[in-house]
Structure 1
Amino acid sequence: MKNNRSGQAEPLTKEEFWQVYEALQSHHHRLIFALCWFTTERPGAILKLTVAAVYEQPRKPRGTIVIPAWSRKDRQTREVPVSRKLKGILSQYIHPPTGWLFPSPLDEEQCLSFSAYQKALTRAFRILGFSGYSTYSTRRGSITHLSRQGLSIKNIQAISGHKSLTCLQRYIEVSPAEREAAIALL
């Protein structure tokens, strides 16, 4: 569990994801949060998305979101298919005509800062009484959710963009009940 910025973030369940989504006060924070969940991407890369990477034309999302190599930890470009739910969320968002999808309110030439998003998310977690969660809870939660739905680890790797299965496995939470159920199979 995440404690004072140490350890791994608690993974969000799908139900917790929607609770936090509703608790976020601004539309752009909600969209950042949704993009992190539905793309399994790191928030730092989501904050650096441009309008052209997500939208074909005003309020018309692309079929895939292009997450450029320069914004990602592994320096590999990812193209992530847009799910029906994410498409609905994207269609409702009023985005800037060009440039950053999430421009800084202080300087439109810059994207929204990680700390601004982190503060909004921390506030929502606090309102809901969630502890041990962080900006990575969406990534860990969506990956864990896919695993619990029975997707193969190779499929999850392809979706999440992890180069290494070892790195990917750190994101998948295994509950005590799941361990007991596994042992019962022996």
Structure 2
Amino acid sequence: MAQATTLNDAQIKRVLRYCQSRKYPTRDTTILQFSLHTGLRAKELAALRVGDVYDADGTPRAQFTLAPSQTKGAKSRTVFVNRQLVQVLLVYRTWRHCDDAAAPLFPSQKGGHFSANTMCQLFLNIFHACGLQGASSHSPRRTFITRLANKGIGVRVLAALAGHSSIAVTQRYIDVNDAQLANAVELL
């Protein structure tokens, strides 16, 4: 099975623009941004609750812990939220306006939690509408890991951020292209 496409800046901008034309533009844009800035899997995004991401005052948390039931490997892990995502979450909070900590962070059309499969379908529908071949719910995750690797973040840190127990798995997520190879040899 082929790996999901890693997204470049132009593709990300195209997808974000497209999300603004959808029925739930704020939710869909936030889902995409959340995945790009945290590397969470579709299952993990679908399982998020309002109280995971926002404190009792409605302030986005700088970090939060995923419970074992929310992760693929059934192991808890800490998710770190960068400043850019905090800004996105502040906007989302005004749209979502929900004080119930147990409520889904990203409500489905019916108001409940997305299933992992439905979250995957959301990504596939968005990427298909944008004409992105080979893109899936794993594309933002691969993009997250690849971008951090390109900035010199070590594979052990990447594995911890991605929730991988093996750095070999993390290494498979890192996309390599000709520009990176050319830049690497210039470092000599």
Under a length normalisation based on structure 1, what TM-score does the superposition of the two structures give?
0.83
Deviation at 1:113, TM superposition (A): 2.8
Q: How do 1:108-147 and structure 2 match up within 5 A?
A: 108=111, 110-147=112-149
Say if 2:52 is the partner of 1:48: no
Match of 1:3 in 2: none
Match of 1:77 in 2: 76
Deviation at 1:111, TM superposition (A): 0.8
| Larger displacement relative to structure 2 (120-129 or 52-61) | 120-129
Q: Which runs of 5+ in 2 are unaligned?
A: none
Say if 2:7 is the partner of 1:9: no
1:126-179: CA deviation from partner (whole Å, max 9, x where unpaired): 332211110100000110111111212222223222211111011001124434
Tell me, in whole angstroms, the C-alpha distance in 1 between the residues paired with 2:171 and 2:60. Answer: 31
RMSD: 2.3
| Larger displacement relative to structure 2 (111-120 or 124-133) | 111-120
- How many residue pairs get matched? 179
Matched residue type, 2:116: F
Deviation at 1:182, TM superposition (A): 5.2
Q: How do 1:62-101 and structure 2 match up within 5 A?
A: 62-93=61-92, 94-95=95-96, 96-98=98-100, 99-101=103-105
C-alpha change, 1:89 and 1:165, in structure 2 (3 Å) is: same
Tell me, in whole angstroms, the C-alpha distance in 2 between the residues paired with 1:181 and 1:82. Answer: 29
Q: Which runs of 5+ in 1 are unaligned?
A: 1-5
**How much identity, in percent, do the aligned residues show?**
28
Deviation at 1:120, TM superposition (A): 3.3
Under a length normalisation based on structure 2, what TM-score does the superposition of the two structures give?
0.83
Tell me, in whole angstroms, the C-alpha distance in 2 between the residues paired with 1:66 and 1:17. Answer: 27
Tell me, in whole angstroms, the C-alpha distance in 2 between the residues paired with 1:116 and 1:23. Answer: 19
